Structure 1
Amino acid sequence: MALFSEKVALITGGTSGIGRATAIAFAKEGAKVVVAGRREKEGEETVALIQKVQGEGIFIKTDILVAADIKNLIEQTISTYGRLDFAFNNAGIEEPPGAFLEGTEEEYDRIMDVNVKGVWLSMQYEIAEMLKQGSGVIVNTSSIAGLIGMARVPIYVASKHAVLGLTRAVALEYAKSGIRVNAVNPGAIQTEMMDRFVGTPESETEFRQQLKAAHPVGRLGTDEEVASAVIYLCSPGASFITGQSITMDGGFTAQ
């Protein structure tokens, strides 16, 4: 029997990268998957990949900064599948590296809104539904940037520290309500977002080589490796884990 048979998983930012890999991983474990994101074409591609592994899923176009969109997302999830067992709040954006004094108010608002407000708003609607059924698991995407400082991306670092703060505070509030809340802290993961930072794998830029070398294992991580951690945190094996985060960074933060 599949690990998550008859369960329902919701993933924001499920149109590519870590979100897409996690959607497929949930489907392989028998969960019905709701993929949320702004990009319709890519969202439907994720659903097609879910179906390719004999899974079931739907795409719901959602802007996580619009409360009405998230309300609709939860309502459609319940009307389609009847419940919400897992939520992976993964939608986020990067910060172009630059000097602190060159940062703009517009850039600050954009990054903090997506990376922090989006998680906060999503959890409000997710938890309200999970309270009705007396159970649920939430996993938020933070980063190793939520654990340490990194020069030239201060707003991103602040946003990911905030995600961990939210995760811990909300986990404590709902610990006795059957709802667990945890986070994952990826290091450098091979995704489209990473390609925007360091160039594609084919280009093998100096920046990419430096980044790989900075990880003791000598490579970047994969989105499937992050997905495995999310699956674990949602599994019965992690039933005593809440308010915590799992770091998958090839030893980066151990140095």
Structure 2
Amino acid sequence: MGKLSGKVALVTGAGSGFGESIAHSYVAEGANVLVADVAVENGKRVASEITAKNYPSGGKAVFIECNVIKKADWQAALDLAVKQFGQLDIVVNNAGTTYTKQDSMGVTEEDFDRVMTVNTKSVFWSVAVIMPYFVERKSGVYLNTSSVAGTRVRPGQVWYGASKAWVNRITQGLAAEYGPHGIRINSVCPVRGTTALLEKFSGVPDSAEERARFAKTVPLGRQSEPEDVAKSAVFLACDDSSFISGTNLAVDGGRLAA
């Protein structure tokens, strides 16, 4: 029996990075997972690779194309979860984006709008569509992928950090609002990690030298890996954290404390 046996999870942005690792870890712990992504080929690849793993837990994965800023896509995801697996228990709002690290005056309106829309409106629609279902069932778990930038905004990523500060605040507000309905809402807040967005966050090409430079700013001596976030995501979704809600969990090797 895995920690998520019998659960059904929807993971957005699951075609790469943190979301991909979360999807694998959830299935390994017994959950059935909807691998949701707007990047169709990546999403199909992840679902296929999970199936090929044939995890002993018996969990399964199915892909669904999902643009997280469209209400209709959220409704389609909920409908598929119920049709395919009979229920939905966990929503992981993992899809997100950023712009290349730069002076805040140089960020284009297009980049600003994209970051704010993807990072905030996606959560809004997830609540509008999925929360009524959870309220009716009197149970459910939301997990938002935020960032340590939502607590301490660094130069060059100010607008991105502001979008994640919004995620942190609504995580707390939603937890207070819907806790009486048996619903838990938390966020996981990684430091810069090994994902497709790495070079955007650093503003320079990825290299061993750049990783070593950044590692010196982290007390535990490295940047985050997708597996670090996935392990935290399992904990915050399973019964081990049944009395934890409204928490923005830093997965940052101590960087916020430094």
TM-score by length of 2: 0.94
Deviates more, 1:184-193 or 1:124-133: 124-133
Give the gaps of 5 or more residues in structure 2.
none
| 1:252 and 2:252 correspond | no
The residue aligned with 1:188 is: 192
How far 1:53 moved relative to its partner?
3.9
Distance 1:6 1:218 in 2: 37
How far 1:177 moved relative to its partner?
0.3
Q: Is the 8 A contact 1:95 1:155 kept in 2?
A: no
The residue aligned with 2:163 is: 159
Distance 1:230 1:208 in 2: 24
The residue aligned with 2:19 is: 19
* Selected match of 1:229 from 209, 229, 232: 232
The residue aligned with 2:86 is: 82
Distance 1:150 1:38 in 2: 29
Distance 1:63 1:208 in 2: 32
Between the two proteins, what is the percent identity of the paired residues?
35
| 1:149 and 2:175 correspond | no
The residue aligned with 2:212 is: 209
User: Size of the alignment, in residue pairs?
Assistant: 252
What is the root-mean-square deviation of aligned Cα atoms in Å? Answer: 1.3
Give the gaps of 5 or more residues in structure 1.
none
How far 1:195 moved relative to its partner?
4.2
Deviates more, 1:15-24 or 1:113-122: 113-122
* Selected match of 2:130 from 119, 126, 133: 126
* Selected match of 2:245 from 242, 245, 255: 242
Distance 1:228 1:173 in 2: 27
Q: Is the 8 A contact 1:120 1:166 kept in 2?
A: no
Q: Is the 8 A contact 1:10 1:36 kept in 2?
A: yes
How far 1:208 moved relative to its partner?
2.9
The superposition leaves residues 18-68 of structure 1 with CA deviations (integer Å, 9 ceiling, x where unpaired) of: 000000000011100001111111111111222214331101001011111
* Runs of 4+ with deviation above 4 angstroms: none
